[in-house]
Structure 1
Amino acid sequence: PDELPVIEAVGEPSGLFIAAGLSGHGFGIGPIVGKTICDLIVKGRTGYDLAPFSSRRFNGG
C-alpha cells in the first residue's frame, strides 16, 4: 500500500527473516537488501534503521 518493502526479522519462529515487496525496485535495491538480511543473520544487527520497513507499519504499531 505504501510502495515500501518489508525487511525484518520475525519474532517467531526464531531465525525467520523477511525481505519482500521489492516490486520493480528489487533489481536496484536487491544487493543492499541482501547484505542487510545477511548482517541480521550473521551479526544479529544492521547499521540501517529498518523501522520504516517493518510490517508493523500496517497495523499502526
Structure 2
Amino acid sequence: MPAPVTLTLRRFDCGLIAPQPQLSFAAGLLKVALNEAADLGADRIAMKIESGDVFLK
C-alpha cells in the first residue's frame, strides 16, 4: 500500500482490539498481531502508517 495509509480496526462482535507490531526482518514489511483487549485503555480503533512511523489511535 502506498503511504500514508490509515486502517480502521473493528471486530465483527464489536469487541476490543489491541494491535501489537511484530518484529520483522524484511525491509518494508509491517507485521501486526490483532489481539483481544482486556480493558478500554488497551483498545485501539485505527492504525496510521506515515513516513515509516506507525501510530495507534
| Category of TM-score, reference length = shorter chain | 0.3 to 0.5
Q: Which has the higher helix share?
A: 1
Q: Which has the higher strand share?
A: 2
Quick check: which has more Rg, 1 or 2?
2
Could you tell me the TM-score, scaled by structure 1's length?
A: 0.33
Higher relative contact order (CA 8 A, sep 6+): 2
